[in-house]
Amino acid sequence: MGSNTLPPYWQQWEVLNSEGEKEMRYAGRSWLMIELVAHKLNFTPVQVMTSNWAEVMALIKERVIYISPVVYTVMPHQLAFNDYSTFIEPDTLTFSMAVPSLAPRWQALYYPLSPVVWFLVLLSILVYPAVLLLLSYNRSVGGLQVMVVMEATATLLGQPLPRHLPHHTYLRLLVGAWLMFGVIFATAYRGNLTAFLTIPKFPPRAETLHQLIMTDAMVTVPWDDGDDLKMFFGESGSPDSQELSRRMYKVLDTETGMRQATYMNEAYVYVRKVLEMNIAQHFTSHDGQPQLYVAQENISPGFAAWPIIRDAFFKHTLDWCVNAIVESGLSEKWMSDTLDIARRESRILRRQEQDASGNTPSTDAARRVVTALTMTHMQGLFFLLLPGFLLGAASFVVEFLMGKVVVGSERKRE
User: 205 by DSSP, 3-state: which?
Assistant: coil
* Residue 80: predicted pLDDT: 87
Q: Residue 212: is it exposed, middle or buried by C-beta count within 10 angstroms (0-12/13-18/19+)?
A: buried
pLDDT of residue 368 exceeding 50: no
Residue of 396 and 144 predicted with greater confidence: 396
Give the pLDDT mean for 20-30: 87
pLDDT of residue 364 exceeding 50: no
* Residue 141: predicted pLDDT: 46
Among 71-80, 246-255, 363-372, where is mean pLDDT lowest? 363-372
> Which of the four pLDDT bands, split at 50, 70 and 90, describes residue 384?
low
* Residue 377: predicted pLDDT: 60
Residue of 114 and 238 predicted with greater confidence: 238
Residue of 368 and 285 predicted with greater confidence: 285
In this structure, the number of other CB atoms found within 10 A of the CB of residue 104 comes to 13
What letter does residue 225 receive in the DSSP assignment?
T
Give the pLDDT mean for 126-135: 73
Q: For the stretch 81-99, what's the b/e string if a residue is b when 16 or more beta carbons lie within 10 angstroms of its beta carbon?
A: ebbbbbbbbebbbbbbbbe
Distance CA 218, CA 234 (A): 15
Residue of 80 and 174 predicted with greater confidence: 80
- Name which of 298, 92, 93, 289 is nearest 202 in CA terms: 289
Residue of 344 and 67 predicted with greater confidence: 67
Distance CA 82, CA 6 (A): 21
* Residue 192: predicted pLDDT: 79
pLDDT of residue 258 exceeding 80: yes
Amino acid (one-letter) located at 414: E
* Residue 362: predicted pLDDT: 46
> Which of the four pLDDT bands, split at 50, 70 and 90, describes residue 78?
confident
Give the pLDDT mean for 174-185: 77
* Residue 147: predicted pLDDT: 58
> Which of the four pLDDT bands, split at 50, 70 and 90, describes residue 49?
confident
pLDDT of residue 321 exceeding 70: yes
Among 28-42, 128-142, 251-265, where is mean pLDDT lowest? 128-142
User: 51 by DSSP, 3-state: which?
Assistant: coil
pLDDT of residue 184 exceeding 50: yes
pLDDT of residue 44 exceeding 80: yes
pLDDT of residue 73 exceeding 50: yes
Average pLDDT of the chain to the nearest whole number:
81
Q: What does the CA dihedral 399, 401, 403, 404 come to, rounded to 10 degrees? A: 170
- Name which of 352, 202, 345 is nearest 282 in CA terms: 345
What letter does residue 358 receive in the DSSP assignment?
T
Indicate left, alpha or beta for 216 from its phi (over 0: left) and psi (-120 to 50: alpha).
left
Radius of gyration of the chain measured on its C-alpha atoms: 35
Beta bridge partners of 2: 48
Q: What percent of the chain has pLDDT over 70?
A: 80
Prediction pTM value: 0.67
- Name which of 241, 245, 204, 207 is nearest 227 in CA terms: 245
* Residue 319: predicted pLDDT: 95
- Name which of 24, 30, 25, 22 is nearest 6 in CA terms: 30
Instruction: List alpha helices for 264-329, DSSP H.
Output: 272-282, 315-328
Give the pLDDT mean for 39-45: 90
> Which of the four pLDDT bands, split at 50, 70 and 90, describes residue 209?
very high
Query: Could you tell me where the beta strands, DSSP code E, fall in 169-228?
Result: 218-222
* Residue 186: predicted pLDDT: 79
Among 217-226, 297-306, 314-323, 394-403, where is mean pLDDT lowest? 394-403
pLDDT of residue 98 exceeding 90: yes
Distance CA 196, CA 230 (A): 42
Decide if 62 contacts 5 (C-beta within 8 A).
Answer: no
* Residue 103: predicted pLDDT: 62
pLDDT of residue 174 exceeding 80: no
